[in-house]
Structure 1
Amino acid sequence: MTRRNISIAIVGSGFSGIGLAIALKRAGFTDITIFDKADGPGGVWRDNTYPGAACDAPSHLYSYSFEPKPDWTRRFAEQPEILAYLRHCAAKYGLMPHFRFNTTVTDAQFQTATGRWRLHTADGETRDYDLFVAACGQLSNPAVPALPGRDRFGGTMFHSARWDHGHDLAGRRIAVVGNGASAIQFVPLIAPAAERLTVFQLETHWISRKPDRLYPRWRHALNRRVPAVQKLSRLGVFLWFELVLNPALIAPRGRRVLSAPVRLLCRYALRSVRDPRLRRRLTPRYEPGCKRILTSSEYYPTLNRRNVTVVDDPITELTPHGARTAGGDHHAFDTLIWATGFRSQDFVAPMRVVGAHGTELNAAWKDGARAYLGLAVTGFPNFFLMYGPNTNVGSGSIVHMLESQAAYIVQAARLLASGVTSMDVRADVLDRFDAAAQRRLSTSVWNQGGCDSWYLDADHRNTNNWPGSMTGYRRRTRRLDPVDYHLEH
């Protein structure tokens, strides 16, 4: 069968976009364009440059399986090294000519007559593509609370994902709003220089010590000379997540027994807080894993400092010189750092995506984001998501999931190249998948663990997490079954 040379558009150049582009090139596809609104590749690892930014999954697993890095400097790589790794991958696999940086895709509209996607950019350019992939991720749009008085605050204010490196924090009275994954990394590093640091605790978290360490040079040499050593390290971490942590999150029965070791590790870490009253305020009342389990060996000891205060009274308004809380207290500060995470349900925002029948994706998702295998949405032919709905992992490495998705999308590209002009996932296939996923999630710790988290939308529907193991997802995506799609030739 004659193969046509299809054109492919990818929006986003993080782990998703880079991994997919490499998979497509290795499969022989050449007409690939990777759009990114920023000036270089890297996604969240380009944007999050706050002090102490690092991964909380071990480096040997948080990397592409086809491109191991034998000389990771430490067990949990920091942001500059991860960004350098992504740039290395982009250069090694010849992606640089395919990038369109400083280019924002504002609209994408499916053209029924041609079976192609028409992309519009902010600078007025328009071009059609046979295959369109949104690789925007779940953690790309910072979330900032709409508190009264934001426009009146007279100091310096920024989000942790948009760190203001030109603002000197030495001698400042600093407020950090939020105490999640980012805050526990940068708070220990900025506290020593601050005159006073106030952490406004929005919620409690289970936090364990981080088993981090530097890798010696002999380990780098061993990894290079005996690659099996690094592969075994990767496999060991993978099995820990799959066989120990994952069952503690999704098992409907015996969950408290399975999560007991995690609870003990976190309570042991909490003992480093000297004030017993503060320890009680920092102790979660929900099951471990209901929210993301965090890791840090420095955060709790930092809270013992004389110049650090934890406030769990919610902020009601900002003032010109600080913030007022629900109890009526006023807290003065001159620098405000939002550590409030991301709009995790905005999978493609602010891009407008319009499908075959004139339906906008956000309208199709009015009752909650959903996609078959987190990849395909009915009514949006030749369109796929990466790190889409219900593909986040509560334990493990998202990179493993992304490689599974890339392999699936390559199969879709081969179908289109073989003469298929339109492939649209069947509504009954999506409905069955979504019903089964939500049924399984309903008994998971994320839905039944006694907390509200970013995994759940406003209607308490879990739109983010995969209700199984990484191995299970790899098995489900290993083969694209054409029967799942309406195909036009």
Structure 2
Amino acid sequence: MATQYDAVIIGAGFGGMGAAIQLKRLGYDDLLILEREDDLGGTWYVNRYPGLAVDIPSSTYSYSFEPNPYWSRLFAPGPELKRYARHVADTYGLRGSMRFGTVVTGARWDEDESHWRVALEGGDSVTATYLLTATGFLSQPKVPDIDGIERFGGKVIHTTAWDDDYDLTGKRAAIIGTGATAVQLIPEVAEVVSELTVYQRTPIWVSPKPDHRIPKAVQRLFARLPFAQRAVRLAGGSILELMMIFGVVHYKRFRIGNRIAEQWCRAHLYRQVRDPELRRKLLPRYSFGCKRPTFSNDYFPAFTRPHVHLKTSGIERIDETGIVTADGDRTEIDVLLLATGFNLWDANFPAIEIIGRGGKNLGKWWRDNRFQAYEGVTVPGFPNLLSLNSPYSYSGLSYFTTIECQMKHMDRLFTAMRRRGARVFEVTQEANDRFLDRMTRKVGGSVFSLGRCAAANSYYFNQHGEATLLRPTSTLNAHREAVRFPLEDYTYA
């Protein structure tokens, strides 16, 4: 059977679009981008809860080759990210390759035809020489396994499926979760409801948010003089890099950096919350960096309002009209808001069933043999597969750092393959093992191994207790290796 496409890309978020842009640069124009939602943008299309904004400076949250001079704030609100995604798709001619409302159920490597067969919901399938999975790290919503939740008679809303038509005004609301999403959501909900009860399992490190409006004059300057925005991007990226390197990755050598970050966040809490008991509840008991920290100026003050209540006792059950905690407290509510995050390690690695050479199941292999991927991109036994959301792939704090590292890796790999007249690549087991050993050693010196992470309940850790999501190196190292990895680490045919 003739192969239908040069490549199938699963996911039309920023990762998938970056991969498509790179493939088009390399001369692969026959692309199919499959997206389960009815528009592009990935997480920035799915999420639309009140308060949604990027949680790192906007200047670093964009492709370096396609800067946006028109961010309205230092931390751009969600709708601006959606507009930027549409702009990228239009600028690089990607819309014509996108098929929306299409659910991928699995993919299998056809050894006889040397191509991937991608199965679609409904029974159809497509074939492609190359398969790129860009399903995102945060794409599989997690619904808490709480006794009785299905019996609740009021409104239930997960932050990934926000109901814009439901009016929260005057309602008695409960929010489960105090992660990065909840930090943005809680102050907004507190403004309109009559009572708000927040159920916290794990507090979060929060630092001040220098979220200033960017004047129109500055936006025009960035548009006329792109180097000025590049300088701002460099400064913002350097600050994030220092936080990541000194506070997290090189914890063994620079524990003082981690302590400084903790004290900075602790001082922010103490400035905004006077009640010592409330401070105690909101103060994390784990090291900075074990769980993703965030920025906010209005999260802590929301808990000082008389109609906002923080509960830290575990939830025992949910009944038809309320929530009962382990200490016997019961709260009547009208609406239950789930800011419970995503299921990474049970459902997201990978997000679909992928069967490689000899019937090798990627999800099963990862769970049986540790989570691993060479340079966070490829896996032995899976020819012509680029798994863009893999263990050890996330570099730095901006997702765009990861995306552009992977684009560089693709450029080097596909150029080498073309020079050899090949159309099939596969990373060797030896190269994969060397990379895994190196990452494992480096994690050993990070906060994930040496810090106080037991109480973090962090999605950085998989079900085996290993922190295999983030690449434990500098972003400079990640970029350097993306353009210099040994070409003999792959076989070509």
Q: Give TM-score, length-normalised by structure 1.
A: 0.95
Q: Secondary structure at the match of 1:464?
A: coil
Contact 2:417–2:423 under 8 Å retained in 1:
yes
| Inter-partner Cα distance in structure 2 for 1:384 and 1:228 | 33
Contact 2:289–2:447 under 8 Å retained in 1:
yes
| Inter-partner Cα distance in structure 2 for 1:114 and 1:133 | 18
2:319 corresponds to which residue?
A: 319
For each residue in 1:79-104, what CA deviation from the matched residue of structure 2 results, as whole angstroms up to 9, or x when unmatched? 10011001100001101110011111
- AA aligned to 1:21 is A
Q: Does 1:459 align with 2:464?
A: yes
For each residue in 1:261-308, what CA deviation from the matched residue of structure 2 results, as whole angstroms up to 9, or x when unmatched? 322321222121131111011111222111111110001111111110
Contact 2:32–2:99 under 8 Å retained in 1:
yes
Contact 1:387–1:402 under 8 Å retained in 2:
no
For each residue in 1:442-482, what CA deviation from the matched residue of structure 2 results, as whole angstroms up to 9, or x when unmatched? 22112332124111112101120110111111111114533
Q: CA deviation at 1:415?
A: 4.8
- AA aligned to 1:262 is A
Q: Secondary structure at the match of 1:366?
A: helix
Q: 1:480 to 1:442 in 2, by over 3 A?
A: closer
Of 360, 376, 379, the residue aligned with 1:377 is 379
Q: Does 1:338 align with 2:321?
A: no
Of 464, 477, 484, the residue aligned with 1:472 is 477
Q: Secondary structure at the match of 1:176?
A: strand
- AA aligned to 1:485 is Y
1:446 corresponds to which residue?
A: 448
- AA aligned to 2:371 is A
- AA aligned to 2:405 is S
Contact 1:191–1:197 under 8 Å retained in 2:
yes
Q: Give TM-score, length-normalised by structure 2.
A: 0.95
Contact 1:396–1:470 under 8 Å retained in 2:
no
Q: CA deviation at 1:189?
A: 0.8
- AA aligned to 1:241 is L
**Which deviates the most, 337-346 or 42-51?**
337-346
Matches within 5 A, 1:45-84: 45-84=44-83
- AA aligned to 2:480 is R
Matches within 5 A, 1:396-411: 396-411=397-412
- AA aligned to 2:159 is S
| Inter-partner Cα distance in structure 2 for 1:57 and 1:478 | 26
1:250 corresponds to which residue?
A: 249
For each residue in 1:363-405, what CA deviation from the matched residue of structure 2 results, as whole angstroms up to 9, or x when unmatched? 1112332111111111111001113211224x53120121110
- AA aligned to 1:434 is L
| Inter-partner Cα distance in structure 2 for 1:443 and 1:166 | 49
Matches within 5 A, 1:162-181: 162-181=161-180
- AA aligned to 2:424 is S
1:261 corresponds to which residue?
A: 260
2:329 corresponds to which residue?
A: 329
Contact 1:138–1:343 under 8 Å retained in 2:
no
Q: Secondary structure at the match of 1:365?
A: helix
Q: Does 1:192 align with 2:197?
A: no
Contact 2:4–2:128 under 8 Å retained in 1:
no
For each residue in 1:210-235, what CA deviation from the matched residue of structure 2 results, as whole angstroms up to 9, or x when unmatched? 11110011101211222221111011
Matches within 5 A, 1:1-150: 7-150=6-149
Q: Secondary structure at the match of 2:59?
A: coil
Q: Does 1:208 align with 2:207?
A: yes
Matches within 5 A, 1:425-444: 425-444=427-446
| Inter-partner Cα distance in structure 1 for 2:418 and 2:188 | 52
2:301 corresponds to which residue?
A: 301
Contact 1:6–1:417 under 8 Å retained in 2:
no
Q: Secondary structure at the match of 2:357?
A: coil
2:226 corresponds to which residue?
A: 227
2:156 corresponds to which residue?
A: 157
Q: Secondary structure at the match of 2:9?
A: strand
Q: Does 1:290 align with 2:290?
A: yes
Q: Does 1:482 align with 2:484?
A: no
Contact 1:131–1:413 under 8 Å retained in 2:
no
Contact 2:168–2:192 under 8 Å retained in 1:
yes
- AA aligned to 1:140 is S
- AA aligned to 2:273 is V
Share of identical aligned residues, percent?
A: 36
Number of residues of Structure 1 aligned to a counterpart in Structure 2: 484
Q: CA deviation at 1:143?
A: 0.8
Gaps of 5+ in 2: none
Contact 1:6–1:416 under 8 Å retained in 2:
no
Gaps of 5+ in 1: none
- AA aligned to 1:387 is N
For each residue in 1:307-341, what CA deviation from the matched residue of structure 2 results, as whole angstroms up to 9, or x when unmatched? 10000001121111111111122222121111111
Q: CA deviation at 1:357?
A: 0.9
Contact 1:248–1:256 under 8 Å retained in 2:
yes
Q: 1:363 to 1:240 in 2, by over 3 A?
A: same
Q: CA deviation at 1:348?
A: 5.0
| Inter-partner Cα distance in structure 2 for 1:64 and 1:283 | 35
**Which deviates the most, 403-412 or 200-209?**
403-412
- AA aligned to 1:401 is T
- AA aligned to 2:69 is P
Q: CA deviation at 1:26?
A: 2.3
1:363 corresponds to which residue?
A: 364
| Inter-partner Cα distance in structure 1 for 2:149 and 2:448 | 32
Q: CA deviation at 1:123?
A: 2.8
Q: CA deviation at 1:349?
A: 4.7
| Inter-partner Cα distance in structure 2 for 1:101 and 1:215 | 34
| Inter-partner Cα distance in structure 2 for 1:366 and 1:291 | 22
| Inter-partner Cα distance in structure 2 for 1:35 and 1:432 | 33
| Inter-partner Cα distance in structure 1 for 2:121 and 2:484 | 37
Cα RMSD (Å) = 1.7
| Inter-partner Cα distance in structure 1 for 2:116 and 2:442 | 34
Q: CA deviation at 1:162?
A: 1.2
Q: 1:54 to 1:41 in 2, by over 3 A?
A: same
Q: CA deviation at 1:422?
A: 2.4
Of 407, 420, 423, the residue aligned with 2:422 is 420
